[in-house]
Amino acid sequence: MAHQSDLIEKDILAYLKSQEEKSLLRFITCGSVDDGKSTLIGRLLWDSKMVFEDQLASLEADSKRVGTQGGAIDYALLLDGLQAEREQGITIDVAYRFFSTDRRKFIVADTPGHEQYTRNMVTGASTAQVAVILVDARKGLLTQTRRHSFLVSLVGIRHVVLAINKMDLVGFDAETFDAIERDYRQFAEPLGFASITAIPLSALNGDNMIEASVNTPWYSGPALMDFLETVQVEGDNRAEPFRMPVQWVNRPHLDFRGFCGVIAAGTIRPGDELRVAASGHTSRVARIVTMNGDLAEATAGQAVTLTLTDEIDVSRGDMLTVPDSPPIHARHPEAHLVWMHDEPLQPGQIYLVKTATAVTPGRVTAVQYAVDVNTLEQKQVPTLGLNGIGVVRLELDRPISFDTYRQNRDTGSFIMIDRFTNATVAAGMVIAAAPLEARNTSLTGPGPDLAEPDGGHLRRISLSESFISGTGVSVVDLTGEWGPIGFDVTASFTDYLGKGNRVLFRLRDLAQLEAVALLAYDQTLTFEFDRTAEGVSILIFKRGIRSEGGLLTDEGTGI
Amino acid sequence: MNSSNLTHLQQLEAESIHIIREVVAEFGNPVMLYSIGKDSAVMLHLARKAFFPAAPPFPLMHIDTTWKFREMIQFRDRMAAECGLDLIVHVNEEGVRQGVSPFTHGALYTDIMKTEGLKQALDRYKFDAAFGGARRDEEKSRAKERIFSFRNANHRWDPKLQRPELWKLYNTRIKPGESIRVFPLSNWTELDVWQYIHLESIPIVPLYYAAVRPVVERDGMLIMVDDDRLELQPGETVQYKSVRFRTLGCYPLTAAVESEADTLPRIIQEMLLTRTSERQGRLIDHDSAGSMEKKKQEGYF
């Protein structure tokens, strides 16, 4: 029995205390109706005592009426929620189930195995930490097993249970089990799971569901419930560099300005230095405010309100991070895209891209290739249709802050929304800012906001009025830029320099030096290199009196 | 997914607060539907946490069928005042004029006073997002509903046209007249709700605690005599029993259970040892299998 009835009866306070430390595991089950998936989940609910008598009464009635077990209890009927589906005998969407034991609470994403429902599986897997992939022992690995495994790996699930079900129908044969496990391990090797646990099951009869089955003396691994209760999932990224997308600025009165969000990575304490990824402004944490009192520390996964020691400009859409390990801040992410809508992707068309921080108009500029979910082969395609998966390049209207999906599922994911129908049309996972490849660094001279040339991987920054502020020195911050860059120069920019003003480029790394040097070369500018504790910067300016023989009167940069 | 060292309640709390803040950031005119029950109590508590030290920047709204327990109404008014929130109470006056009551109109009563009343109120105030305290574990059709659940201009839910919901990224885009129902407690179970109430000392309506109350036995259910509108049928007598309510709604439609559980730990203890689900006390769910799904499609919460 999953709950400690004795303790509940004798000492409810002690029981409640013991429950406060319970953890949460989210997992997904993948397989078709035929694999006994609904039966497996129904059984977990049943055995963890999450089924009540009135539900049992209606389950018995339903089993007789529409059950598939000849009038015996059909656990699958605990799950099929919508009337239409019940009549069709299939589940058609993502459903969430809940059960708990004394050690853990579980949230199960229950998704169909039907080919056209890749969309649902990706949806269910997006929040899962473990996948239970069902295989019918009589059939072995099927195309859908491969498809499910690929999707699960794509969405970043690292732990897989290969649930080899219906072992009763193959006489609990160890060799059958071993052969399927062997095949699977070989197939799944390139998918890079951290762990694969094969378990011989009969969900219908309960073998190896909760306890070791007497029918499989040759199997020494855990029962399914044991495994789920004890599996250690990584994903504790409290040691990673701090990230918090600002969700809401709480400003009840002039003396309080709190930045609200869920910490996506890292740990924070009052006094810690923070940097706004987009602007580069820094400040320190003053307080971590909660209704239950200020915290001395907050960590990944918590929803908090931070106040800062300085009045710096922060708003919804910004990301607060540690200063020395900022996220990517760029306009051209490359990403895995799962297309989820009947209308295929229209490359070049504007969609809304929603990330953890912001909603930004953007377009897919190129589909690099699509992946066949059945064979894992890459193929060249002009676009992606419903349930299509590919690698694409995006162009966003403005740079946004993000991480790679591999690094962080919260800050590396996005959805795409159709601007006219408001439908969610795609799910994306960032691979990188832009691929590093041969640099096309020829600067094309004055030209306002040129679109990126076809297939170009260079991020071109137009040095327009927006970079110029006042007189004296303007700052171009490149510390949020990843990957190769180039500059386009506008007339107003040359004018600005021509009047004796200077521009300071803050660099992320020395790889950016070349682009600035080329700019100086093309525009006949002088530059000064500076390295301080703050980082690397270059000051460029025009030797305004060069035509008069060389030296500028005011040589000192003063910066 | 990134937070295996937080307890399950800490993770649920963070998820709910994130959802509530997202609504406030993205919608122009949100409202929190307040049913006065324990789930509403938890939802309101989470909203206060989300915006502390400010008060939640939206009103509470109660669709009053005029048949709620008197203690619920007192509790409602007290909580709204304590939390510093505007309280909108909406009654379907048309239904009242027609004399619609749970005794005379059966299943129609809920449609008119609750579903219609809700639609009227949403239309009148032009709310574009409405928080509700429903949980996915309550009922099968809810297990498939999104956290951000789209409603067309007629407030209808189409289970086949739901938006995929991935990670923590919620699609909040709607056209004028359309709206979103938002369920911050989607992933909570009844046990989670009780444990959280215990842990955070959240106030709840006293009807949840056992006390001696006047009840009549009708169709195998114990119905509390909350006021003189409950007419006794032949053979019925008012009895005084120690009872409590596992769920709260309109008093003629909500069955009490005999109980001695007069503290929170004892309520939780009873809940864990009991063998019937909480919705069993709601007469509305017994109509037919799939009845809740139909109601939801028509705009019931």
Tokens of A212: 């070791």
CB contact under 8 A, B1 and A26: yes
Are A236 and B168 within 8 A, CB to CB? no
Nearest CB to B2 within list A235, A251, A352:
A235
- In the chain, the amino acid numbered A414 is F
State yes or no: pLDDT of B294 exceeds 70. Answer: no
Inter-residue contact A111 to A117 (CB < 8 Å): yes
Give the separation between CA A414 and CA B171, rounded to whole angstroms: 11
Model pLDDT, residue A73:
64
| Amino acid residing at B59 | P
Record: fold of A5-230: Rossmann fold (3.40.50)
**Domain range summary for chain B, segments of one domain joined by +:** 8-193+290-297, 206-286
Residues A290, B52: C-beta atoms closer than 8 Å:
yes
Superfamily name and number for A328-432: Translation factors (2.40.30.10)
Residue B176 CB contacts under 8 Å (≥ 6 apart), including other chains: none
Residue A5 has a pLDDT of: 65
Nearest to B265 among A12, A94, A237 (CB): A12
Distance between CA atoms of residues A53 and B132, nearest Å = 27
CA distance B76 to chain A (A): 21
Residue found by looking up tokens 């025009």 in the block: A542
- Separation CA A37–CA A135 (nearest Å): 9
Angstrom distances, CA of residue A284 to CA of A270, A275, A312: 7, 8, 10
B41-61 pLDDT per residue, tens:
999 999 999 999 999 999 999
The residue type of A186 is Q
Beta strands in A267-357 (DSSP E): 267-268, 273-276, 282-289, 298-299, 303-308, 319-321, 328-330, 334-339, 351-355
Residues of chain B with Cβ-Cβ distance to A20 below 8 Å are 7, 9, 195, 199
The residue that leads in pLDDT, A22 or B291, is A22
If one compares B88 and B145, the residue with the highest pLDDT of the two is B88
Per-residue pLDDT tens listing for chain A (559 residues):
345 567 777 788 888 888 888 889 999 998 876 777 778 888 888 777 655 555 566 666 666 665 666 556 666 666 654 444 444 444 457 888 888 888 899 999 887 656 557 888 888 899 999 999 999 999 999 888 888 899 999 999 999 999 999 999 999 999 999 999 999 999 999 898 999 999 999 988 889 998 899 999 999 999 999 999 999 886 568 788 999 999 999 999 888 999 999 999 999 999 999 999 888 899 999 999 999 999 999 999 999 999 999 989 899 989 999 998 888 888 888 999 999 998 999 999 999 999 997 899 999 988 989 998 878 888 999 999 988 999 999 999 988 888 999 889 999 999 999 999 999 999 999 998 764 322 333 333 333 333 333 334 677 888 877 777 777 888 888 887 777 788 888 888 888 888 888 888 888 888 888 888 888 887 888 888 888 777 788 988 887 534 333 344 444 333 3
A243-321 and A328-432: identical CATH topology: yes
Residues of A in contact with B5 (CB under 8 A): 23, 236, 238, 299, 301
| Chain B, nearest residue to A122 by Cα | B166
User: What span, in angstroms and rounded, lies between the C-alpha atoms of A269 and A297?
Assistant: 5
Contact status, residue B210 vs residue B260, Cβ threshold 8 Å: yes
The answer to whether the CB of A351 falls within 8 A of the CB of A363 is yes
Q: Which residues of A touch B7 (CB under 8 A)?
A: 20-24
Give the pLDDT band (50/70/90) at residue B288.
very low
CA angle, B164 then A227 then A158, to 5°: 50
Q: Do A96 and B164 make contact, defined as CB atoms within 8 angstroms?
A: no
Class of domain A243-321 (CATH, top level):
mainly beta
Task: Compute the average pLDDT of residues B257-283.
Answer: 75
- CA dihedral of A301, A304, A308, A311, whole degrees rounded to 10: 110
Record: contact B164-A427, CB cut-off 8 A? yes
Domain ranges of chain A: 5-230, 243-321, 328-432, 459-548
Q: Of A41, A81, A76, which is closest to residue B289 (Cα–Cα)?
A: A81
Q: Is the CB of A250 less than 8 angstroms away from the CB of B54?
A: yes
Contact A96 B166 (CB under 8 A): no
Tokens 């970043």 sit on residue: A156
The CATH class of the B8-193+290-297 domain is alpha beta
